[in-house]
Structure formats: C-alpha cells, structure tokens
Amino acid sequence: MLAELPLLSLVIWLPIIGGLLVLFTGDQKPFLKPVALAIAALTMLLSFCLYAGFDVSTHEMQFVEKTPWIETFNVFYHLGVDGFSMPLIILTTISTLLVVVAAWEVIQHRLSQYLAAFLIMEGLMNAVFSSLDAVLFYVFFEAMLIPLFLVIGIWGGPNRVYATLKFFLYTFFGSVFLLVALLYLRHVSDSFAILDFHAVGLSLNEQTWLLLAFLIAFAVKVPMWPVHTWLPDAHVEAPTGGSVILAAITLKIGGYGFLRFALPIAPDASMVLDWFIITLSLIAVVYIGFVALAQTDLKKLIAYSSIAHMGFVTLGLFIIFDIFANASTGSGAVLAIEGAMVQMISHGFISAAMFLAVGVLYDRMHTREISAYGGVVNTMPVFAGFAVFFAMANAGLPGTSGFVGEFMVILAAFQANFWFAFLAATTLILGAAYTLWMVKRVFFGEVANNEVKALTDVNRREFWMLASLAVIVLLLGVWPEPLVNVMHASVEHLLTQVSQSKL
Amino acid sequence: MFQVPNMLFALPEMVLLTMACVILLVVAFTGARKIEWVYGLSQLSLALTLLVVLWSLGDWGLTFSDTYIKDALSDLLKVFICVVNMLVLLYSVNYLKARQLMQGEFFVLAVFSTLGMLIMVSAYHMLTLYLGLELMSLCLYAMVAMQRDSAVATEAAMKYFILGSIASGMLLYGMSIIYGVTGSLAINEIALAIANTDGNETILSFGIVFLVIGIGFKFGAVPFHMWLPDVYHGAPTAMTLFIAAAPKIAAFAMIIRLLAEGLIDLQNHWQDMLVMLAVLSMILGNVVAIAQSNLKRMLAYSTISHVGFLLMGVLSGTEEGFAASLFYTLIYALMTLGAFGMILLLSRQGFEAENIDDFKGLSEREPWFALMMMILMFSMAGIPPLAGFYAKLSVIKAVIDVDLLMVALVAVVTSVIGAYYYLRIIKVMYFDKPVVEHKLEASSSMQIMLSANALMVLGLGIVPGILMKLCTIVFA
C-alpha cells in the first residue's frame, strides 16, 4: 500500500498546505498549536515510511513521480529520492517537529505566522531534496529564502534587519549563477532533467565554468570560508527555530548541491580544481576553529563551529580525487563520501540540539553572552547534563554521532594526503577546546549571579525535546549502520560517475 | 475595381471609437453631474471591446489594403490591453474622486488612448503604426497635465510631451529612411525587399538606428530613459498607473512589428543595439532604484530595469525569445498594475501613500494587503514561485540559447542588486512598526480586484504553463 501513495508529494504538500491553513487560522485559536504539531508529526511519520519502503540495493531514484508542468520548456514535476536525499528529508521532518515543539510557549508574537513559516519551509526543503528537474529544484531552492527571510526579520534580535538582508542577498547572489548554469546545461543537453545533466558530455572549459557557478551557489549555502560571514549574523539574530532550521538543514542543501550537481556534472573540472576546494575546507576547519575559540556569544560560537564542521563535508567530498590517484582500491573514496554524508546528518542533529539548548537558556535569561552565565549546573542539573552531552558530541566524542563522520573523513584523508588528515585532525583539539571552554564557563564553577541562581530546570516539554535528540545522537554514534546502509549504493554509483571522464 | 475592405478585422476598434464618441457627447452635455455614468460608460465600452475581441478570436488576416492586421499576437495583446485598462480605471476612481480629478476628460482621454493602443497592436504599415502611437501618446500627455495647478505634474507633462515628440520625430525619420531604401511602408513589403537584398544595407542600418532610438524612448530604455522617473513621479498616481501598464504592451507590439517582422533579416544590425539598451537599462535601473525614497520613483527605475529584461527576449531574435518577451510584458503589466494599485489603495484624501515610509508596519495595519504587496515585490524581484521568476527565466533562457552568456550574467547580477530595493519594501512592511494609523477608503470591488490581481501573480507562478504556451503559440 505504501508504494502506491505519492509519498514525496505528501511530505512536500502536506506541510505547505497545512502551513497555509495555520496561517489563516489566526493567533487566538486554542487549537492552533496542536494542529501545527499534528501536521509536523504526520509529515515526520510519512517520511519514516520513505525509509521503511526504501530499497537499499539500488542507486536508482525511488518513489518517482513525474508529470508535465511547464510544457513549453519541457519542465516536469519530477520527484524521486536516492540514498543521499532520503536521509536529509528525514532530518528535515524531525527538525521541523522539534522547532514546532520549541515554539510552544516561547513565541507570543504572531504565533500563527511563525508556525506557518516553518511548516511551509519544511515542505520547500523536502521538495529541494526530492526534485529531479532543474527548474523545479531551483524554484524550491529560491522559494525557501522567503520564509527564512521573514522568520529572521520578524522574530529576530535587535540587529535582525541587517542580518536577514545580508542572508537573503548573499544566498540570492550565489543562486543566480546556479540558474545560469542550469540554463546553460539545458542548452547543451536539451532537457531540464538533472539526471540528463549527469550524462551530458562537456569540455573541460565548460565544466570549469559550471563548477565555479555551482561553487558560488553552494559555497554560500554551506557556507565555506570566505563567504561564510552571513551565517554568524543570521544565527545570532534568528529566533531559536530559525537557527535550528538554518544550521540543521539549509546548510546541508549546500552539501547536497555538491553531491547532486557539482561532482557528477563536472567531474573533470572537480578533479582539476579539487585543491582549491580542499584548501578552503581546511581553512574552514582550522581557522574558523580558532575564530570560534574567541567568541563571547553562545550562538556565534555554535555558528562558527558549524562552519568548521561543514568544512569536513566539503573536504570529504573533494578528497576522493586524491584518493583515486593514490590508492588502487576505491574503499577510501567510499569512506570519504559516506563520512561527509554522515557528518551532514549528524551535524544536523547536534547543531539543532545545541541551538535548542541555547534557546532554553535564552528564554530564561534573555542573553546569549557567555559571561552572563556561570555555574548553571547548580540550578539546572538535568539541562546541564544534556547540554554537556551535546557539547561533547559537537567536539566529536567517540560514541556520539559527531565522532563517526569526522573519523571517517579523517581516515579517508590519510589515503589522500597525510597533511590533509593532519590539519583536519586538529579539529579534534580545537573543537574540544572551544566547546569545553564554553561548557566550563557557562555550566561549571560557582553560581555567577542572582539571575543564574533563579533559573529553573527544564520542564517536561523541553526535557523530551532534548532527550529525543540525545537518543538520536547516541544511536547514530554507536550504530551508524542503518544510515550508512541506505546510502551505500548511491555512493558507489556517484563514484563510478565521478571516475568516468566526460571529456 | 474598388474592393470593400474587411471591416470585421477592425471591429473592436470601431466599437471603441463609437463608444468614445458617445462618451464625449455625454461628457459635453452632462458635465460633472453624471460623472459616475461616464465612468460606467467607459468601463462598458472597454468591456464591449473586450467581448468583440473575444468573439472574433482566431479569424486572422490583413485588411485595409494590407495596412491592418489581425493575427494571434494582436488578439492576445488586445485582450490584455482591455483587461488591464479596465482594472486601471477601477483602481483609479477613488483616488481621482478624492482629488477633484474625476472629470469627464480623464475618461475620454483614457478611452481614446486605449483606441490608439489597439491600432498600434494591429498596425501592419508604418503610417498606421505611427497614427496609433500618436493617438495613444497625445492622450497620455494630456492626462499627465490634467492636474493643472500642480507644478510637478505640469513639469512632468511638459517633459513627457517634448521628449515624446522628439522620440516620435526620430521614429518617423527612421521610417522615412527605410521607406527611401525599400520603397514601401508596409511591414511585409519591407521584409520582402530586404530579403531580396534590394537597397543599401548601410543606409538601412542608419534607418534602424533611428527606429531603435524611437522605440527606446517609448519604452524608456537607457539612455533614452530620462523622462520616465520624472513623469512617473510627477503625474498623479492614477495617471502613472495608466502610463505604466498598457502602453508597454502596445510598445511591445511596435517593436515586434518593426524589428521582428519587418527587419528580421537585419537582425545582425539591431541585435547589438538592443544588447546595449538592455544591458544599460538593467544596470542603471536597478542601481539607481536603490537610492529612491519615493515609491513611484523607485518603481519608475524598476520599470527601466524591467524594460532591459524585456528587450533581452527580443534581441535574441528567435521565436522563443519573442515569446519570452511577450510573456515578460504581460507579467510586467500585471505586476505594475498591482504595485501602483497598492499605492492608490493606501492613498486617501490629502494623503499620497507614495513614500516608502508610508508602508511602514503595513503588516500590522492591513495584514492581507501587506501579503499581497509582498507577493508583488517578490515577483518583481524574480523570486520563485511567483510569476516574475518565470518571466526572467524565459528571457534569460532565450539569450543563453543564442550564446549571449554575458548578457545573461549581467541580467542575473543586476537582478540581485534589484532584489535589495524590493526587499526594502517588504522590510518596511513587515519588520517596522506602523507610524500612521488609517483605514482603507477604497471600494470593496477595488479591494477584491487588487487581491485577485496579486493572487494571479502567485497563481501564474505555480502554473505558468498555460500563459507561456499561449505566448509560444502566438509566434509559432
């Protein structure tokens, strides 16, 4: 029965239409929050059906839906998922549910619009991950900016207008080059299907320009150094929910874009230019790690640590060419791509948890300055337990999901070049340093002031919100098999695509 | 032997002309007493014309000694001109009443101007085209000047008239050169003469220069854009709306008849000129719009940039390109209609909601119309899933298909610059606190149609296929 339902359309349109309903319900209705929660929960359950019905033995697109949309341009409403996109959809639906829960008592101002924005956002993000038509992909990719722009601008902090305009214009600037690239690919391949783009032959010159266009678009999203500056601003000003979605999912769209567009469409150019992207990634890992160390704002610290962690993703994706060159077997390359994917998913959960934890503190103290805290463990022991656990996961403690992805990428990097691995491994020190130092200053020590003294521990809603994430992080840490299995066939397929020259 | 021309092909124009004379008489005999009747009559005449156009859809051919054409393009454009102008009149009524501008002359001018547009759309002979253009333009000049006690409006009218006359002169000069070389003023005979390579190409290209200057003036493309911000700003908003929407549709017909149908074989000559116009318009329009604090002026510069985009499709010289430009023109007309409609909606007795700050906190005062304005602004910025995105997509696609990548890159980069000032409107509406408190005075029919207008922009963004297909069929 599951196979007959248009599951992908459901996980896209249920939250969008539900979001519109919520929008027009108005703030005063008592059933507003339960309805939003039900929509988010139902969407999550539907996305679990995707997992249950997923065939792990093939790299082919699954749950495919295809109907003509704009006939003059041969644009199709063409959906489908493979091992890369399916886990990201599940990440999206889980994160959105948590955001709805997190908004429960906290958002007082224009609640219906807030919930609607996140539900619509969820549908759009699911659509980005499942679009197989370039125009459809681009439409959702851009449409996503609208709700996020409003979320940061309406519910954000004091400097929200600057932050949200910067966010919008940065990402819009990146994506218009993507549009030109996609239109050029259509010109060459006479089709808008992304899978046809993969097959089209391109000269090295064409590939280089296309790769640069993809790089601008997705590097801004990831974000890679030096186009990362919008992220700390956006994170600091965004409300908790906005930060969670930004960190957990929109950053992943950058990584996903490299997997879906850059690598398979321009493999030769990727090989030629891989040093460039690897350099940027290593700068992100090392330099941004140091920058994170110097932060005095909790959210900024997590934002910079996000950039450093995403550096691992781009590193993992682009070291495969060096591994090809060095090793006779392809196992290292598989490890690199899978490591990057695991890192994306794991960072999604951990960063969401970190931002939710900061949200819990912020709701009580209304400050994100690290210096305003101290000795929180004395007044909020349960919360401190969770926070320390997530901080450890962020630092890559073995047994948490944060460790798995980083370890796989570092291991693979050894097969590429010792120094790549060496520099990447500094994150284990830097990450531990900035996270633990933050933990020490915020949670341990004497109770710093009367406000901290007056703190109350997490309530039941917050407890379950953090506990569910803790379970996921722990589970993926000790048993990543279910995640890795799903993507294995797709990774193998990607590597065959990448290893075949298109010249 | 004398042949009776097929009058049916010009039936919409004849109906409108008759009605215009009736309105003129009614105005002359009732004066200001029955102004509501005059308004009703004007709407009725546009509606009748629309009905006639719809009734005679599909019966195509030439008439009046091949000076007049009825084809798919003219039918489609006439439908849109009638609908757009009906909406313009509807949006304008309250504004005009509040400013004692609700006079019979406005409606007479509006109807005659519409007649001029219809003639332009159907012209297949340079003289007919010129006739239609002048009929339209002269009415517009007079309209801008209607608020005669306002110094700004008078100045705007003066500028508009002088620059418009220069443009007409240029156009006429270009036409005469082309006539001199090809020996004909009929579009199809010109095309034939050029295809047979009769006549000197250098002199022809000289003629094209003047034609393009004239077209550039009428569209408001850089460097012939000087009149546009002043006129948009100075004219009463209702007149600005009239000038901004339908005349662009008629101008589109002009550029297609002249360049795409008459001089298609000289595309290598006019393409480079249009590339310059398009690139400069997109850059200047988008950059200068950032500095504006007056919404009408900002929309004027945004119009200049839209004209640049619109020309991109034409300059590609392909059928897909023309279809893309047509699509762009129609979507542009819808968006402009909505945007100026919003200014008219928020204006009231003694208050022009034409400064950007007047939209402050609109989402708290009028959440529904703030949403509508947001849709329009995002659409103008070219953000999916709104109609403006597909318009930009199709023209960019058209230039990429003829390997003009640099033009496409300029287009996308300037559209990012442009996004900034559209976002500023949304910022003002959604992120700022309201400063003025007031209630809407507009009639409910205007509110409904304005909402429908904005929702149409959203609807065409979700299912753009139908209109795109229509545009493609026109040029197939």
Closest-approach residue (CA) in chain A for B374: A146
- Please check whether residue B346 touches A, CB under 8 A: no
* DSSP secondary structure code for residue A190 in this structure: S
- For residue B354, is pLDDT > 90? no
- If you measure CA to CA, which chain B residue comes closest to A26? B367
The CA distance from B121 to B257, in Å, is: 9
Work out the number of other CB atoms within 10 angstroms of the CB of residue A331.
11
Tokens of A112: 């219906």
Q: Which of B413, B420, B468 sits opposite A176 (nearest CB)?
A: B413
Query: What residues 106-165 of chain A have any CB closer than 8 A to a CB of chain B?
Result: 135, 138-140, 142-143, 145-146, 149-150, 153-154, 160-161, 164-165
Contacts of A180 in chain B (CB under 8 A): 396, 400, 405, 408-409, 412
Q: How far is A180 from chain B (nearest CA, A)?
A: 7
Query: Is B470's Cβ below 8 Å from some Cβ in A?
Result: no
- To probe the interface with A, which of B356, B393, B409 has the most A CB atoms within 10 Å? B393
Tell me what pLDDT residue B61 has. 84
Residue of A179, A184, A191 to mutate when probing chain B, most B C-beta within 10 A: A179
Contact A27, A123 (CB under 8 A): no
Picking from B385, B397, B420, the nearest residue to A183 by CB comes out as B397
What 8-state DSSP symbol labels residue B258? Answer: I
Region A244-273: mean pLDDT is: 90
What the block records as the tokens of B355 is: 């400064």
Q: Which residues of B touch A73 (CB under 8 A)?
A: 394, 397, 468
Report the pLDDT averaged over residues B154-173. 92
Share of residues in chain A with pLDDT > 70 (%): 98
Quick one: tokens of A171?
């990402």
Q: Which chain A positions have a beta carbon within 8 Å of B401's beta carbon? A: 187
Which pLDDT does position A328 carry in this prediction?
A: 58
Q: Choose the closest CB to B431 out of A154, A183, A184.
A: A154
pLDDT of residue A371: 85
The H-or-E segment that residue A66 falls in is strand A62-70
Percent of chain A's residues with pLDDT above 90 = 29
- Nearest Cα of chain A lies from the Cα of B416 at a distance, in angstroms, of 6
Q: Name residues whose C-beta falls within 8 Å of residue B474's C-beta, 6 or more positions apart in sequence.
A: B72, B73, B76, B323, B326
Structure tokens at A40: 């988010």
Q: Does B418 touch chain A (CB under 8 A)?
A: no
Model confidence at B253: pLDDT above 70 = yes
Separation in Å, CA of A212 to nearest CA in chain B = 13
B415–A183 C-beta distance less than 8 A:
no
- B451 interface with A at CB cutoff 8 Å: no
What backbone phi and psi angles, to 5 degrees, belong to A75? -100, 135
| pLDDT of A24 strictly over 90 | no
What is the average per-residue pLDDT within B205-231?
Answer: 91
Contact B115, B67 (CB under 8 A): no
Q: Does A168 touch chain B (CB under 8 A)?
A: yes
Which of B384, B420, B426 has its CB closest to that of A139? Answer: B384
**Amino acid making up residue B175:** M
Q: Is pLDDT of A3 > 70? A: no
Q: How far apart are CA B392 and CA A232, in angstroms?
A: 32
Which of A153, A169, A180 is facing B409, going by the closest CB pair? A180
Do B416 and A169 lie within an 8 Å CB cutoff?
yes
pLDDT of residue B258: 92
CB pairs under 8 A between A and B: 84
Mean pLDDT in residue range B313-342:
93
Q: Do B397 and A138 touch (CB under 8 A)?
A: no
Structure confidence by residue, pLDDT tens digits, A350-360: 999 999 998 88
CB < 8 Å to A68, chain B: 465
pLDDT of residue B251 exceeding 90, the answer is yes
Structure tokens at A246: 């930004």
Q: What is the mean pLDDT of chain A?
A: 88
Q: What is the pLDDT of residue B198?
A: 67
* Minimum mean pLDDT range among A474-483, B82-91, B271-280, B327-336: A474-483
Is the CB of A183 inside 8 Å of chain B's CB atoms? Answer: yes
For residue B66, the model assigns a pLDDT of 83
pLDDT at B174 over 90: yes
- Compare A452 and B403 and report the one with higher pLDDT: B403
Average pLDDT estimate for A363-374: 85
pLDDT band at residue B99 under the 50/70/90 scheme: confident
B372-409 per-residue burial string, b: 16 or more CB within 10 A, e: under 16: bbbbbbbbbbbbbbbbbbbbbbbbbbbbbbbebeebbb
- All residues of chain B having their beta carbon less than 8 Å from the beta carbon of residue A124 are none
In the numeric block, the tokens 């990774």 are attached to A491
| Cβ–Cβ gap B400/A169 under 8 Å | no
Chain A interface includes B412 (CB < 8 A): yes
CA distance A314 to A318: 6
pTM given for the model: 0.92
The token duo for B175 is 């036409």
Share the mean pLDDT of chain B.
Answer: 90
Residues 336-375 on A with a CB inside 8 Å of B are: none
- What are the tokens at A333? 């390359």
What is the average pLDDT across B255-260?
A: 92
Which pLDDT belongs to residue A470? 92
B-proximal residues of A, 55-74, CB under 8 Å: 68-73
| ipTM of the shown complex | 0.89
Q: Does pLDDT of A1 surpass 60?
A: no
Helix orientation angle between A418-443 and A401-416, rounded to the nearest 10 degrees: 160
Q: How far is B57 from chain A (nearest CA, A)?
A: 22
Categorize the per-residue pLDDT at B168 as very low, low, confident or very high, splitting at 50, 70 and 90. very high
**Closest Cβ opposite residue A165 in set B378, B389, B427:** B427
Give the one of A71, A172, A180 whose C-beta lies nearest to B469's C-beta.
A71
* Structure tokens, B201: 């190409």
Section A69-74 average pLDDT:
86
B426 membership: H or E segment, kind and range: helix B405-431
Question: What mean pLDDT is predicted for residues B392-412?
Answer: 92
Residue-level pLDDT at B398: 92
Contact B409 A149 (CB under 8 A): no
Intra-chain end-to-end CA distance of chain B, in Å:
36
Chain A contact for B395 (CB, 8 A cutoff): no
Interface test with B, best of A20, A70, A74 (most B CBs within 10 A): A70
Mean of pLDDT values over B277-291: 93
Q: How far apart are CA A501 and CA A382, in angstroms?
A: 55
Average pLDDT over residues B453-469: 91
Contacts of residue B471 in chain A, CB cutoff 8 Å?
72
**Chain B closest-CA separation from residue A173 CA (Å):** 6
Contact B384 A176 (CB under 8 A): no
Residue pLDDT, tens place only, B103-116: 888 999 999 999 99
- B385 CB neighbours in chain A (<8 A) are 139, 143
Instruction: Residue B431: list chain A partners with CB under 8 A.
Output: 153-154, 160-161, 164
Q: Are B410 and B312 in contact (CB under 8 A)?
A: no
What is the per-residue pLDDT across A218-246, written as a single tens digit (0 to 9) for each? 999 888 888 889 998 888 888 888 899 98
